[in-house]
Amino acid sequence: MMELETLEKEISYSFKDKSLLKQALTHSSFSNEQRIRKWKNYERIEFLGDAVLELVSSDYFYHTFPEETEGNLTKMRAAAVCEQALAITARQLKLGSYMIFGKGEEANGGRERESIIADAVEAVIGAIYLDSGIEKAREFIHRFVLNDLEHKRLFYDAKSILQEYVQETKAGELIYELIKEEGPEHDKLFAMEARLNGKTIGYGEGKSKKTAQQHAAYDALLKKDGNKKDLRI
């Protein structure tokens, strides 16, 4: 595990109660193996952080886009705080490198599992909230979660954007083909290709077929002439 002081510098926040940050980065697999009370892992703090994130992000989109409808605001928020978007934040901060896992989860690749590192982001938010209150949590969310929103929205809507583009341009038949799956039953890794008229236009991997398809569609969009305007975002 990397030193937590390094992470504090990365997020520009120093915890008064260091145990909160340690708890936020402790996976249940470790506390279960060590037979430590469950509250010592990140699950309770992640529950709180999820609520703080929903409030702060809702407030952000409400005030930033005063003309948008409730339905559009909901979609925008969902794109910004979905599992994949939070995993992007986690990778930027290298949260997986700081986490404490049990031996089993460590061996199963927990440090790279999107669902786990996304939860860790919410846990860190919860820890900051408990340590200093809503404003410091808001600063973290605005800086590390509600950033690069165009990129995150593109990923979140990748399949629907690509499908819409194919239909509008009458480009042909778009399908997703499973080309590989590996790993034990409880920890599968799927590889998918997005194919247009039989030609591979995107590739993606994920812990579920749906996630792998999303990555493949996103890859196809990024390759499409490098011009996002053509994709009608």
Q: How confident is the model at residue 230 (pLDDT cuts 50, 70, 90)?
A: very low
pTM for the whole structure: 0.75
Q: What is the mean pLDDT of residues 225-233?
A: 42
Tens-digit pLDDT profile for residues 61-116: 999 999 999 998 998 898 899 888 899 899 999 999 999 887 877 777 778 888 89
Q: How far is CA 154 from CA 126, 157, 167, 200, in A?
A: 27, 5, 18, 20
Architecture of domain 4-148: Orthogonal Bundle (1.10)
Please provide residue 183's backbone torsions phi and psi, each rounded to the nearest 5 degrees. 100, 165
Q: Which tokens go with 191?
A: 């590889």
Q: Are 33 and 149 a contacting pair, CB within 8 Å? A: no
pLDDT of 36 over the 70 cut: no
Average pLDDT in the chain:
87
- DSSP for 173-202, written as a single string: -EEEEEEEEES-GGG-EEEEEEEETTEEEE
Segments making up each domain of the chain, as ranges: 4-148, 158-231
Tens-digit pLDDT profile for residues 156-192: 788 888 999 999 999 999 999 999 998 877 778 899 9
Q: Which tokens go with 29?
A: 């697999």
**Does the active-site annotation cover 119?**
no
3-state secondary structure 78-120: HHHHCHHHHHHHHHHHCHHHHCECCHHHHHCCHHHCHHHHHHH
Q: How far is CA 48 from CA 73, 122, 129, 187, 230, in A?
A: 22, 8, 9, 27, 40
158-231 is classed CATH 3.40.50.150:
no
pLDDT value for 232: 33
pLDDT more than 70, % of the chain: 92
Q: How confident is the model at residue 224 (pLDDT cuts 50, 70, 90)?
A: confident
pLDDT of 227 over the 60 cut: no
Choosing from 105, 122, 131, 219, the catalytic residue is: 122
pLDDT of 226 over the 70 cut: no
Sheet holding 189-196, edge to edge: 174-182, 189-196, 199-206
